[in-house]
Amino acid sequence: MKNWVATASEDGLQIIMSLKISNQVSIPFSEIQFHAIRAQGAGGQNVNKVSSAVHLRFDIAESSLPDTYKESLKKISDQRITSDGVIIIKAQRFRSQEKNRSDALDRLTDLIKLASAARRLRKPTKPTYSSQRKRVDSKTKRGQLKSGRGRVDSTSL
């Protein structure tokens, strides 16, 4: 999936690559750090020789994201977000570094979209009269059963 966009700078001299989150929000690639590392797991000699896995680091506080996005990202309890507010994503699903880099960008986009999604408020409901009545009746019945469990007095027989 193509999740980046290229735009020309205001002076027209350079092209700025950015990660597109929504129509209004995008993150310049200069704010995202990539580090190539060796992948874990099976793969034979290739895994030992080639650094195909990718670590993506994105600092929420230092980014150009709108404040609402930053606040909602910090509220998410996700193991990929450190206590310092840095998102770290490790991508090693594919054998090529380019695909892993694209996968990491997709996962970063998904995480930011998840944080920016508006939560629907819960509409509180009231129990019906019938359900309230049944609840009280069952409590009364249970109380009568328990009161009959007491010690038997020989004078009352």
Tell me how far apart the alpha carbons of residues 62 and 31 are, in angstroms, rounded to a whole number. 8
Rounding to the nearest 10 degrees, give the CA dihedral for residues 58, 62, 68, 72: 40
Q: Tell me the per-residue pLDDT of 16-45, one tens digit each, with 9 for 90 and over.
A: 677 887 778 878 888 888 888 887 777 666
Q: Tell me the per-residue pLDDT of 102-143, one tens digit each, with 9 for 90 and over.
A: 899 999 988 888 888 777 888 999 999 999 999 999 999 999
Domains, the chain, in order of start with CATH, read: 31-116 (3.30.160.20)
Rounding to the nearest 10 degrees, give the CA dihedral for residues 32, 35, 41, 47: 140
Coil, strand, or helix at residue 115? helix
| pLDDT of 55 above 80 | yes
User: What integer is the mean pLDDT of 48-76?
Assistant: 84
